Amino acid sequence: MSDKSTKFWDSSTEKTCIFIEISIMSKNLILEQENQVGWITINRPDQLNALNRETIAELHQALLDFRENANIGVVCITGAGEKAFVAGADIKEFADYTNSEGGALAATGQAILFNYIEQMNKPVIAAVNGFALGGGLELAMACHIRIASSNARMGLPEVSLGVIPGYGGTQRLPQLIGRGRANQLIFTGEMINATQANSWGLVNSVVEPAELKQEVMALAAKILKNAPNALEKAITAVNAGFDGISQGFNVEIESFAACFGTPEFRMGTQAFLRKEKANFRG
């Protein structure tokens, strides 16, 4: 683990701020914290960051730690190297699996990683920096927001391997881009480029590779201005809409109601009435 702090001038607040960076290496991940943004970099570049079971378990632990860390308000996931975000589940690992092992792989992965990300208590952004294929695209789709670099390539090529997407791809891709386009991508197994992904709504925006981190940090900074509890409730309500639309409206009402009377609600509304901006994170 290494700690380093750098002073920088924040022109928006006109103050000198201290930027604290903490880096922790695990076997397959690099974990860093910059200000209140937790970065998870999947670090198997020789294997194009393919998700083996060990990496999935480490990702779960990292997300659990970031979830509990009150100093982290936004989580970002990316891949090491310049070539891949994640090129899929590790084909070398599952090539000899039986039906029940395949089923367990999908069920465990969905529970501890993909659904876990979607249900995180703070926004999770995918910085898609290259190939996002199969489980890699499924990982990006489980995140709340996707920003891609212009060299990104996305697809679900599982049928070319004689299998189907098993980490939520058949569900989240139609939700994001519509059934027809999702069927086209799933049935052909073809990749699309970042421009196409952007025009289909699969990613929120596309930037040059050198600008990806800066773009994600700028987006995170906007999110970090807002109330943590309200962000968590917003995630819950948006997710509930995909469990059935009437369920979504009911959860929205409950989540909306639960915000009233909280310290951050008082802080936000009182600041507005004083014509000031609330500072939720101190």
Q: Nearer to ligand COA by C-beta: 30 or 163?
A: 163
- C-beta of 51 vs 235, nearer to ligand COA: 51
- Chain Cα centroid distance, residue 167: 14
Nearest approach, Cβ of residue 77 and ligand COA (Å): 17
Q: State the nearest-atom distance from the C-beta of 161 to ligand COA, in Å.
A: 6
**Six token digits for residue 163:** 């299998």
**Chain residues in the site for ligand COA (CB under 6 A):** 47-48, 50, 87-92, 131, 133-135, 157-158, 161
Q: Which is nearer to ligand COA, 66 or 131 (CB)?
A: 131
Confirm whether 158 is a catalytic residue: yes
* Least distance in angstroms from the C-beta of 188 to ligand COA: 13
Q: CB of residue 155 vs ligand COA: minimum separation in angstroms?
A: 8
Q: Which of 158, 208, 215, 276 is catalytic?
A: 158
Q: How far is the CB of 137 from ligand COA (least distance, A)?
A: 9
Cα end-to-end span (Å), the chain: 26
Question: Which sign does the torsion angle of CA 13, 15, 16, 17 carry?
Answer: negative
| Selected catalytic residue, list 34, 58, 118, 138 | 138
Element (DSSP H or E) covering residue 123? none
Residue whose token pair is 């920003």: 147
Nearest by Cα to 128 from 116, 119, 138: 138
Phi then psi for residue 167, to 5 deg, are -110, 40
For ligand COA, the closer of residues 86 and 223 by Cβ is 86
Q: What is the DSSP letter of 189?
A: -
138 catalytic? Reply is yes
Token pair for 98: 């039986």
Residue with Cβ nearer ligand COA (20 or 91): 91
Alpha carbon distance 227, 230 (integer Å): 5
Please enumerate in sequence order all residues whose Cβ is within 8 A of that of 73, keeping only pairs 6 or more positions apart, or say none.
36, 37, 122, 220, 223, 224, 228, 231, 281
Q: Which helix (H) or strand (E) holds 190?
A: none
Which residue numbers are catalytic?
138, 158
